[in-house]
Amino acid sequence: MTDARNIVLTGFMGTGKSTIGRLLAARLDRPFIDMDAVLTEQFGKPIPEIFAEAGEATFRVAEAQLCARLAEQEGLVISTGGGALVNPQNRAALAATGVLLCLTAGVDEILRRLDGLQDRPLLNGGAGGAGLERSRRIRDLLHERRHAYAAIPLQVETTGRDPEAVVDAILDALAANHEAPGMQRIGVTHPQGAYDICIGEGLLEHTGRLLLARGLHAGPVALVSNAQIADAHAPRLEASLRAAGFTPCLCLVPSGEEHKTLATVANLYDQFLAAHLDRRATIIALGGGVVGDMAGFAAASYLRGVPFVQIPTSLLAMVDASVGGKTGVDLPQGKNLVGAFKQPEVVLIDTAVLATLPAAEFRSGMAEVVKHGIIDAPDLFAQLEESGPTTMAHMVADAVRVKVRVVEADPFEQGRRAVLNLGHTFGHALEQVSHYAIRHGEGVAIGMVAATQMAVAIGECAPELLSRLERMLARLGLPTRALGYDADAILAAMGHDKKRAGKMLRFVLPRAVGNVFVADSPGADVVRAAVNYILTAPDDEAHNG
């Protein structure tokens, strides 16, 4: 961060813009402008009085004039009022000469922080000021302004962080933005080190520079992909690699899970040798989970291990498969039976590549996004329930953070990672009995319904979550039932799930959004009831009791 552009902090009331702005300015030794303080001084009265006497419109005009004046200066740290950047003209004016950054906090956190503050004119209408009424206004206002805030690519979460830690996070976000405009960076630590997950629209074009900055050797690199994905996206990637001094060699594998085999990996070794790749050569996976799993395994084993980079192109690979270091192939006896932990040097997620992903694959990936919401991202879940996620990059980032927290807590899959199997015990069985007519994400969607029904049945979860989940999945075009299949066949298939612990059937169940637990052997009748639930059309349930 060496440029002199203004740094503009915005965000909803209660996100700490003034406090954080003052600290950030001190840290960077820059002048600090608190827009609300400037306006208070200009009008000679507190903001609630400006609203009451001059009216909101007058205030907004003055605010817009102030934005225009500040945009003519440089080197400032500016904290805006909560509503200032909702106006696109203000946003454009300040963005022309500054970097905009939005501070965020969960709704509950905002409610907690605003409790007792009486200087917020938009919240104080209505007599009595009952707590519930206030909380409803806050929620409404947040909802109204959500898209305006989300239009700002740089977002920094403040929940659970003290002000100095928020300033650290801001400096980190600014540095990421400096690497590639609009890029978000999520750090992952693992027992051997650490890597970044870089997320942004159009990131492919920055790949070469991003890899150089991470110390990767500028020489021959293998670009592992399949024909369909390479046609759409390899040229931009190759151009960026060449511009940075790499010589990419495209190594193609056939498309489809049936080719995720040792034979395909052996063929990759042949291609690497033919391209004279030595130990310093990086292997880049450009593709969905199938390409990523195989390229990663090849990178773990070729010459006893070479550097590996993930560029996931399916939604599932972005939010799940590319993070956590698991790589491998299938055997005729079962899926993912041979593999290795291979941590990437960096994961680059360009959400623009989703434009060519078939719609059914996108929906399937959404099931994993919902899953991550239930496991550990209540705000993401709420967004999916309401008018949908704000931007693709933010949605992917929120979902990725859940996976990162889980794999950091359990790098070698010995405990906490089990929660990632929410919906998967049922889901895998449904994939099997349908001979894969039910695709993975569909199985997971129905499986999450079954798991939630089970949690409700054993009294661990409120029934509302089940209806909320079913409504959301339907809205996303995902199934909630598997009509026409046989309960016994599904139960038998579950017995064969390789992820069961010992002989016990193990289920991940939700208690609430953001709170899941592992239930071992919940009882045969409970499991059967959950299976029967997903085999029954929603309308019939009332009749069947």
- Active-site amino acid positions: 304, 326, 368, 403, 413, 417, 421, 424, 428, 440
The strand pair at 506-512 and 515-520 is best described as: antiparallel
* Residue count of the chain: 545
Q: Which residue, 316 or 469, has its beta carbon nearer to ligand NAD?
A: 316
Those residues with Cβ within 8 angstroms of residue 113's Cβ, 6 or more apart along the chain or in another chain = 14, 16, 105
Cross-strand partners of 104: 157
Instruction: Measure the CA–CA gap between 239 and 221, rounded to whole angstroms.
Output: 13
Q: CB of 337: closest distance to ligand NAD in angstroms?
A: 11
For the record, the structure tokens of 104 come out as 């965020």
Q: CB of 227: closest distance to ligand NAD in angstroms?
A: 9
Q: Which residue, 152 or 199, has its beta carbon nearer to ligand NAD?
A: 199
For the record, the structure tokens of 541 come out as 């349930």
**Contacting ligand NAD within 325-344 (CB under 6 A):** 326, 335-336
Question: Would you give the binding string for ligand NAD spanning residues 279-318, x where CB under 6 A is met?
Answer: --------xxxxx-x-------------------xx-xx-
Cross-strand partners of 329: 338
Q: Which residue, 85 or 299, has its beta carbon nearer to ligand NAD?
A: 299
Is residue 262 a contact point for ligand NAD (CB under 6 A)?
no
Q: CB of 228: closest distance to ligand NAD in angstroms?
A: 5
Question: What is the Rg, in whole angstroms, of the alpha carbon atoms belonging to the chain?
Answer: 26
Q: CB of 104: closest distance to ligand NAD in angstroms?
A: 28
Question: Would you give the binding string for ligand NAD spanning residues 343-362, x where CB under 6 A is met?
Answer: ----------x--xx---x-
Instruction: Measure the CA–CA gap between 427 and 523, rounded to whole angstroms.
Output: 19
Helix (H) or strand (E) holding 338: strand 334-341
What type of residue is 40?
A: T
Instruction: Measure the CA–CA gap between 245 and 282, rounded to whole angstroms.
Output: 13
Q: Which residue, 71 or 298, has its beta carbon nearer to ligand NAD?
A: 298
For the record, the structure tokens of 269 come out as 């070794």
CB distance 264 to 254 below 8 Å = yes
CB distance 530 to 450 below 8 Å = yes
DSSP 3-state of 410: coil
Closest residue by beta carbon to ligand NAD? 289
Q: CB of 420: closest distance to ligand NAD in angstroms?
A: 8
Q: Within 13 Å, how many C-alpha atoms sit on residue 86's CB side?
A: 14
Is residue 443 a contact point for ligand NAD (CB under 6 A)?
no
Which of 270, 315, 259, 307 is CA-nearest to residue 288?
Answer: 315
Q: Which residue, 98 or 289, has its beta carbon nearer to ligand NAD?
A: 289
CB distance 528 to 423 below 8 Å = no
Q: CB of 439: closest distance to ligand NAD in angstroms?
A: 8
**Contacting ligand NAD within 219-258 (CB under 6 A):** 226, 228-229, 232, 255, 257
Is residue 324 a contact point for ligand NAD (CB under 6 A)?
yes
Q: Which residue, 22 or 417, has its beta carbon nearer to ligand NAD?
A: 417
What type of residue is 270?
A: D
DSSP 3-state of 439: coil
Among 34, 320, 345, 431, binds ligand NAD (CB under 6 A): 320
**Contacting ligand NAD within 131-170 (CB under 6 A):** none
Count of chain residues binding ligand NAD (CB under 6 A): 27
What type of residue is 519?
A: A
Q: Which residue, 391 or 521, has its beta carbon nearer to ligand NAD?
A: 391
Q: CB of 426: closest distance to ligand NAD in angstroms?
A: 16
Interface residues toward ligand NAD, by CB under 6 A: 226, 228-229, 232, 255, 257, 260, 287-291, 293, 313-314, 316-317, 320-321, 324, 326, 335-336, 353, 356-357, 361
